[in-house]
Amino acid sequence: MKASVTFVSVRPVPSPVLGHPYYERALAKELERSRAALAAGVGLADKRGIPCAAETLEGDPAEAIATLARERDADLIVVGSRGLGRFKSVLLGSVSTEIVRRAGRPVFVVRDHAAVPASNAA
pLDDT, residue 80, reads 85
Structural contact between residues 6 and 74, judged by C-beta atoms closer than 8 angstroms: yes
Cα angle 37, 79, 63 (rounded to 5 degrees) comes to: 95
Name the residue range of residue 39's domain.
Answer: 1-59
pTM: 0.75
| Contacts (Cβ under 8 Å, ≥6 apart) of 78 | 107, 108, 110
The DSSP bridge partners found for residue 92 are none
pLDDT digits (tens, 9 = 90+) for 20-61: 777 778 788 888 989 999 999 999 999 999 999 999 998 899
In this structure, the answer to whether residues 8 and 54 fall within a common structural domain is yes
Instruction: Report whether pLDDT(1) > 90.
Output: no
pLDDT, residue 23, reads 74
In this structure, the answer to whether residues 91 and 117 fall within a common structural domain is yes
More confident residue, 120 or 109: 109
DSSP 80-119: EE----HHHHHHH--HHHHHHHHHSS-EEEEE-GGGS-TT
In this structure, the answer to whether residues 66 and 99 fall within a common structural domain is yes
pLDDT digits (tens, 9 = 90+) for 64-94: 999 999 999 999 999 987 655 555 444 445 7
In this structure, the answer to whether residues 70 and 35 fall within a common structural domain is no
Nearest to 78 by CA among 69, 86, 67: 69
User: How far is residue 13's CA from residue 19's CA, in Å, rounded to a whole number?
Assistant: 14
- Which residue among 29, 59, 89 closes a domain? 59
In this structure, the answer to whether residues 64 and 33 fall within a common structural domain is no
In this structure, the answer to whether residues 53 and 26 fall within a common structural domain is yes
What's the number of domains the chain is made of?
Answer: 2
Nearest to 31 by CA among 62, 58, 64, 53: 58
Q: Is 8 helix (H, G, I), strand (E, B) or coil?
A: strand
Domain CATH for 95? 3.40.50.620
